[in-house]
Structure 1
Amino acid sequence: MKSFRVAVSSSAMAALALQAASGVQAEDKGTFVPSQIQGLFVEQFTPGWESRWTPSKASKFQNGNEEFKYEGVWSVEEASVFPGIPGDTALTMKSKARQHAISTIFDQPIELDGEKPFVVQYEVKMQNGLSCGGAYVKLLSSSESDLNPEKFGDSTPYSIMFGPDRCGADNKLHFIFRHKNPKTGVFEEKHLKLPPNAKVSKVSTLYTLIVNPDNTFDIRVNEESVLKGHLLEDFSPAVNPPKEIDDPEDTKPADWVDEAEIPDPNASKPDDWDEEAPLMIRDPAAKKPADWLEEEPLMVPDANAVKPEEWDDAEDGEWMAPPVPNPKCEDVSGCGPWTAPMVANPAYRGKWTAPLIPNPAYKGEWAPRKIANPNWFEDLHPNKFAPIGGIGFELWTMDDDIQFDNIYVGTSPEEAAKFADETFRVKLPLEQNREKDELSRDENGNKREAPLSGLDHFVQQIRRRTNVLVDRLSTEQDKLRVLQQSSDIVGFYAAVVAVLLGLVGLLTSLLGGGARARPAMPPKKTESASPTAPTEQGTSSAVKASSVTRRAPVETKDTAAMH
């Protein structure tokens, strides 16, 4: 089996630690030194990586017959965004909106007996973020078919899939393992019921999976545990099927009574129960306001309206001025016929129904009888994963320049932690210092006198999210699918619009002031569109402007030409 060694010498460690402490100014002090840590598989993408890793030449079929080739470009290079250790290179996905696949095959498969911990650890650096795509790793199964890296694709069987995956609001850190049914020999994927969120960052993120001999697991991000669980309890479908199942031949008897309660057959409607009483009645205590003008219509013809010159009474009918609100009604409680407002009817009781009582014939909720599950088995050691013959990345992404580095596969959490100390813990502070330095500069690269303001940060967010959405729309044929998968960005714009509208409303109220105060008088209610809509004083049945119809002006040749 291939084993790649990595570590940093003590002198280099000291130099790099000093570099981290002094920030980005120590850029030329300290260079990458491969580690000496060993495991079942260790990879730092040092020179000669091309002889170990092979890009796929296969195709992927989606939506039936739609073919996508794995034409995404792979490269091994130093980071271009917030670089860490000089000379430290990583496997890099270089293409946007493309299928990527690359793998390496072990000389000998890894056989897992479940008696030792099993550890998978690697770094991801999302230099341009992760708006939509995957960054997970697959440990390829060697027990189902011969592994051919040139044919590696989505249908290649794997033993474990682990790592981040995000598209819009859907963000998860996968841990999937394929379990072999000992009775049928068929493999089935087992997914975490509640996967944690992936961390999206332009600096390196360390993902670690530890599976223990007792079938417990621990998922860590940057060496901090984000989820602990059990292989037999926290995956769906469950590893072991139930011992008993419902009898598929059992049927509910025809005389089975499911109703727990029934209407009381001895109950009768009370004599004083009036089913015809309405829910609402006119308020008998209401009085017409003293200033209500019943003889005045709510709408009157516009006295200032002028009949159009092109209006022909013979052809267009008698011209009528458009209705406008009656000015006499502006400063009074209302106009038109007054009716008392509606109030709840105290005598209303609704349709009578008999009260429910326990059903004496009730037999309980029916369920089919249980029988022994003919497909039952019990595997108490699902941590004996299928033999692993290689490792690969098979991914689709909308974002380029995603890097993978410092892969460790082994049986020692302590060695994995030591490996992280020699690699990840050295580069992370360097990258963070560079990120901090960039945030302290303006768009021209000049040092800011003050920290990035909230407004500047807000503008940067809008610009970044706009670029992401434009990239997606320009590279995808299915625009609706892009918008559906970009719910986070669409939601962001909705929030921005809501905030801007709120600010406009606030400024309008501050600059425009309130309405002119009128002389004190009884409160006036807005007329309802309904002729019987209730008000505090009463209801006007006069017609509103929206319900008045008149003959529209006939379109002449001149006016038609304008259209």
Structure 2
Amino acid sequence: MTDLVADTRGSPDTSGSPLLRLVYFAETFGSGWEDRWSSSEWKKSDGTQGTWKLSAGKWFGDEAEDQGIQTAEDSRFFGLSAGFESFSNAGKELIIQYQAKYEKDIECGGGYVKIGPKLSDPKTFGDPTPYNIMFGPDKCGYTKRTHLIFSYKGKNVLKKSDLAYKQEGEGTSHVYRLVLKPDNTARVEIDGEKIYEGSLKEDWELLAPKERVNEIKDPEDKKPSDWVDDSMMDDPEDRRERLDKKPENWVEEKRIVDSKAKKPDDWDDEEDGEWEAPMIDNPDYKGEWTVKRISNPAYKGIWEAKKIANPDFVDDDSLYKYDDFGFIGFDLWQVKGNTIFDNIIITDEVSEADKFLQKWKTLSEAPGF
């Protein structure tokens, strides 16, 4: 059943009927955005706290329509968050989507969002603040990826393998969408294109492994003396034939004494020692006379220590579920600023997210883009 909720976008419902909770939060940074967002003061005391401003940047279609919030300086920490009525994603899909544009190469820093439980004091929002999900582009030098981190039992867990980093090209907007599903799978799309879809259980180390190598010293759990782990063997029939057929003039010596070398005229045996001719590569070397190799019929494979059930493993079919979502925020360090964020939406209805995706498509198809 869909929950009912008041409009979280700052536009009260005047129809007389409650709004279906399809959109938990949406922001296009129109009029009054400063009242909906709170700047962090986490780094204010050490002088590294950056500021935010409203801007469409150097490249835009419609300046008023394409305005978003922009990181205003270089080499600063940037913190900004917005709260909304708390909700749980239990039993339904959750879509988190936003738009990011790097006005210049960030060099080292992030463009990701954090989504988590209700903040008690938005001014303290920063790196130590607990969150449920962290999602979006991150780069430092040659390391580039799209972050997707899930918090589980107090631990923030990064995906085992990196997701593609698409934030290339100065002044180009990109749309990042995460779909978190009740079957414990996640889907990531950038600019409407799927770049990942898979299992939280398999692709994140959220749970302990089901099995582990037996750590008990079991005298029986050792490699048997007759275990054959050579997949290939010499052909016994060919061995005899090859030894019989080896040519008498077959040369297997790689290096020989250089017969053309001469003792230098100024060589003094007493001072320089006994002179020896140098070694050179043998021009007649033909390689080792080898026996034909065949598959070993006794091959048993690579021996592995016995695995046992992991007593620490506890399955959890609600990995995807969080009891409280109450804020979305940007907690970033950027060497090069001027990143613009816009068109943020948190919803359980794909058609609502698609409306914001269409805004990006309209912008990307504008002349000059």
Q: Flag structure 1 segments of 5+ consecutive residues without an equivalent.
A: 7-36, 61-66, 181-185, 287-293, 298-339, 437-563
Secondary structure of the 2:159 match is: strand
Alignment deviations for residues 221-261 of structure 1 (CA, whole Å, 9 cap, x no partner)? 2222222223233x231x44333333322355689648747
1:71-470 pair list within 5 angstroms: 71-75=49-53, 77-88=54-65, 89-106=67-84, 108-113=85-90, 115-142=91-118, 147-180=120-153, 186-191=154-159, 193-201=161-169, 202-233=171-202, 235-237=203-205, 239-251=206-218, 257=225, 260=228, 278-281=253-256, 342-345=282-285, 367-421=304-358, 423-430=359-366, 433=367, 435=368
Of residues 6, 9, 16, the one that matches 1:4 is 9
Aligned-residue CA RMSD (Å): 4.3
Deviation for aligned residue 1:137:
0.5
The amino acid that maps onto 1:211 is L
TM-score normalised over the length of structure 1: 0.49
The verdict on how the C-alpha distance between 1:341 and 1:94 changes in structure 2, with shifts beyond 3 A counting, is closer
Cα gap change, 1:402 to 1:349, in 2 (>3 Å): closer
**SS of structure 2 residue aligned to 1:242:** coil
Change in 2 beyond 3 A, CA 1:220/1:349: closer
Q: Helix, strand or coil: the match of 1:87?
A: coil
Name the % identity: 28
Contact 1:252/1:366 (8 A) holds in 2: no
1:131, CA displacement in angstroms? 2.8
Q: TM-score, normalised by structure 2?
A: 0.72
CA distance in 2, matches of 1:349, 1:42: 73
- Quickly say closer, same or farther: Cα 1:378–1:255, change in 2 above 3 A: closer
Matched residue pairs, number?
323
- The residue type paired with residue 135 of structure 1 is G
Q: Is the 8 A contact 2:188 2:196 kept in 1?
A: yes
CA-CA distance at 1:206 after TM superposition: 1.5
Assess, with a 3 A threshold, how the Cα gap between structure 1 residues 349 and 229 changes in structure 2: closer, same or farther: closer
Indicate the residue corresponding to 1:56 in structure 2. Answer: 40
The equivalent residue for 2:30 is: 46
Rounded Cα–Cα distance in structure 2 between residues aligned with 1:95 and 1:117 = 37
- Counterpart-to-counterpart distance in 2, 1:418 and 1:385: 26
Residue 69 of structure 1 deviates from its aligned partner by 5.6
- Consecutive unaligned residues of structure 2, counting only runs of 5 or more, are 1-5, 12-20, 266-279
Show the counterpart of 1:183.
none
Bigger strand share: 2
CA contact under 8 A between 1:103 and 1:149: conserved in structure 2? yes
Aligned to 2:101, the other structure's residue is in SS state strand
Change (3 A) 1:81 1:377: same
What is the CA–CA distance in structure 2 between the aligned matches of 1:413 and 1:179, rounded to whole Å?
Answer: 26
The amino acid across from 1:163 in the alignment is: G
Point out the structure with the larger helix share: 1
Distance 1:133 1:243, change over 3 A: closer
Distance, in Å, in 1 between the alignment partners of 2:8 and 2:123 is 21
Cα distance in 2, alignment partners of residues 255 and 385 from structure 1:
46
Counterpart AA for 1:383: Y
- With a CA cutoff of 8 Å and minimum separation of 6, indicate the structure with the bigger relative contact order: 2
Question: What is the CA-CA distance between 1:199 and the residue it aligns to?
Answer: 2.7
What displacement does 1:130 show? Answer: 3.1
Which of 151-160 and 378-387 deviates more?
Answer: 378-387
SS at match of 2:166: coil
Distance 1:125 1:167 in 2: 17
Describe the superposition over 1:327-369 as per-residue Cα deviations: whole angstroms up to 9, x where unpaired. xxxxxxxxxxxxx9952357x979xxxx9xx9x9x99866544
Paired letter, 1:250: K
Aligned counterpart, 1:445 = none
Cα distance 1:261–1:382, how it changes in 2: closer, same or farther (>3 A)? Answer: closer
Task: Note closer, same or farther for the CA distance 1:87–1:344 as it changes in structure 2 (3 Å cut).
Answer: same
- The whole-number CA distance in structure 1 between the counterparts of 2:128 and 2:229 is 54
Supply the distance in 1 between the matched residues of 2:354 and 2:152 (Cα, whole angstroms): 28
CA apart distance, 1:68? 6.1
CA contact (8 A) 2:112 2:137 kept: yes
The match for 1:495 is none
* Whole-Å separation in 1 of the counterparts to 2:140 and 2:151: 24
Distance 2:173 2:317 in 1: 37
Q: Distance in 1 between matches of 2:190 and 2:288?
A: 63
